[in-house]
Structure 1
Amino acid sequence: MLFPNLYHVEQLSKNDSNLVEAVVVLNPAHEIFSGHFPNNPVLPGVCMMQIIKEITEQVVAHKLSLVQSNNIKFMALINPEVTPILRLELEINEIDAGIKVKNTTYFNDVTALKLSSTFKIETV
């Protein structure tokens, strides 16, 4: 985990196809929120992208490197003090030498983020 104690995965479920749903609980006391932004904490977009990468790594059981992200739409601010529980829907597909992920992230009934990313499988 790149940012230890920023979040924990409360639930992770995969159906028979390539759809995954994860419930993530943010830690509002994490130090990252003291600088982003004081008295008005917001989850940085790059942290949200990292969470998506880490959940995908857990599902596919491989370390991944981001190759490309497109169609990134941050649609609502995520304040961990107000809405610490996020629901992520991931469509994960294997492609030539990597993984393609389409993600939609929600809090309550609000869509917070939509993105598509391509990852390379790391070889050790």
Structure 2
Amino acid sequence: MPLSSLYTITALDHTPNQITCTLQIDAAHAVFEGHFPGSPVLPGVVQLEMVKAVLSSALGKAFALKEMSTCKFLEVLNPTETPELTIHIQYKGDELLDVNASGKHSEKTCFKARASFHPII
């Protein structure tokens, strides 16, 4: 099941050390049939995949996760109640990116992660 159809990047702002984007989540996507029927929740692994996808989109190259030092899921993301998610990424480095990422909906932080990504050659 491709995740690329699960969300759409609707806004992207990229400055030298920071990326902010807004994503529209498709509440009708098949992933929610099993996670969880009648009470859809955006899986945590998908939220982290979205960070990688936003990095790749903004920087124009593919990245892979090298290390996750911290990751906290603070709010449940129900796509029928919260169809938009804003991801804020601060990064440093060229080849190995040290990233602080957070996802928010409304004014609530739903996840925070600190990780390292490297470009796929």
TM-score bracket relative to the smaller structure: over 0.9
2:106 pairs with one of 105, 108, 113: 108
Are 1:56 and 1:92, in contact at CA under 8 Å, matched by a contact in 2?
no
Q: Which residue of 1 aligns with 2:48?
A: 49
Identity among equivalent pairs (%): 25
Structure 2: which amino acid aligns with 1:102? N
| Superposition deviation, residue 100 in structure 1 | 1.6
Q: Which residue of 2 aligns with 1:21?
A: 20
Q: Give the whole-Å Cα distance in 1 for the aligned partners of 2:34 and 2:19.
A: 32
Report the count of equivalent residues.
120
Are 1:67 and 1:119, in contact at CA under 8 Å, matched by a contact in 2?
yes
Q: Which residue of 2 aligns with 1:90?
A: 89
Moved over 4 A (4+): none
Q: Which residue of 2 aligns with 1:32?
A: 31
Give the TM-score, by structure 1 length: 0.91
1:4-23, Cα deviation, whole Å (9 max, x unpaired)? 310000000023x3111100
Show structure 1 runs of 5+ residues with no match.
none
Show structure 2 runs of 5+ residues with no match.
none
Structure 2: which amino acid aligns with 1:3? L
SS of 1:24's partner is: strand
SS of 1:4's partner is: helix
Q: Give the whole-Å Cα distance in 1 for the aligned partners of 2:32 and 2:5.
A: 12
